[in-house]
A = this chain, B = another copy of it.
Amino acid sequence: MAKPRQARFTTADLEGLPELDDESPALWPEGLPDVGRNLLTSAVRCFASNGFHATTTRDISGALGLSPAALYVYFPSKELVLFEIIRAGHQRALEVVTAPDIEAIEDVSEHLRALIAAYTEFHARHHVAARVCQYELAGLTGEHYEEILEIRHRTNAVFRDALARGVDDGTFAPVDVPRVSRAMLSLGIDLVRWYRRDGSDSPEQLGELNGDLALRMVVRHPE
């Protein structure tokens, strides 16, 4: 039986790679030393390819030419590596949808469209890290999981509010706000399941597409 560890999503060596498949390094906190950042990046790829539990500390550190023990110089446990990744990803996603330039948009439709577009774009641009954020929550300890849930709720609320505003003021059709906003989030999130950077969709194009589709979901049909 072949090792089930084969990476479905091939990632080249980190070394010497001029351009990364995703831009996850941009997510890591400022204070972290370079090796720590590289470890997070390597971990993201491993977790995304094989899942948290199927990834060994040797996988993560080995991709950088380091020994497994090196990981413990920067992180106290494998779980905390996961937590760092998931927290960073969720934090940034929240920042993206609460960015001042988006909140400043007066027009209700354009506001919603911009929200969905930005959210989608974020997930596409960071699809590897985002995949981990969405699919590896079960690897977190209870406490860490709760902490992440809290951020998710706040993020979700942003969408619900934006939609509610348009429904309330009559701009949008009188849709079921929680359910429809949930569907809009699905458009933005589900792409981490299939998105590849080498495909024909740029993060921007995908953001535009989903923004359109979301608006179509709630547009009032002139009778």
Q: What residues of chain A have their CB less than 8 Å away from a CB belonging to chain B?
A: 1-6, 8, 49-54, 77, 79, 134-135, 137-143, 145-146, 149, 176, 179-180, 182-183, 186-187, 189-191, 193-194, 201, 209-210, 213, 216-219, 221-222
Besides A1-B77, A3-B145, 8 other A-B contacts (C-beta < 8 A) = A4-B138, A6-B142, A54-B139, A180-B213, A182-B194, A183-B209, A183-B213, A186-B191
The listed residue (B138, B140, B186) touching A187 by CB distance below 8 A is B186
* Partner among B2, B142, B194, B201 whose Cβ is within 8 Å of the Cβ of A3: B142
A20 to B54, CA, bound (A): 30
Query: Do A179 and B193 form a contact, CB below 8 Å, given A4-B139, A53-B51, A138-B50?
Result: no
Identify which of B139, B180, B221, B222 contacts A5 (C-beta below 8 A): B139
Minimum CB–CB distance for A154 against chain B, Å = 15
Task: Please pick, from B5, B145, B187, the residue contacting A142 in the complex, using a CB distance under 8 A.
Answer: B5
**A5 lies within 8 A of B50 (CB):** no
Q: Which of B1, B143, B209 touches A179 (beta carbons < 8 Å)?
A: B209
In whole Å, how far is A97's beta carbon from the nearest beta carbon of chain B? 18
Q: Using known A-B contacts A138-B5, A187-B183, determine if residue A217 contacts B217 with beta carbons closer than 8 Å.
A: yes
CB <8 Å contact, A54 and B179: no
| Residues in chain B near residue A135, CB distance under 8 A | 135
Provide the residues of chain B in CB contact with A187, threshold 8 Å.
Answer: 183, 186-187
Looking at A51, A134, A222, the one whose CB has the most chain B CB atoms below 10 A away is A51
In the complex, 8 of the A-B residue pairs with CB atoms within 8 angstroms, ordered by the A residue number, are A3-B146, A5-B138, A6-B142, A50-B138, A51-B139, A54-B138, A186-B190, A216-B216
Q: Which residues of B contact A8 (CB under 8 A)?
A: 137-138, 145
Chain B residue at smallest Cβ distance from A186: B190
Shortest distance between the CB of A67 and any CB in chain B (Å): 13
The answer to whether B141 touches A4 (Cβ under 8 A) is: yes
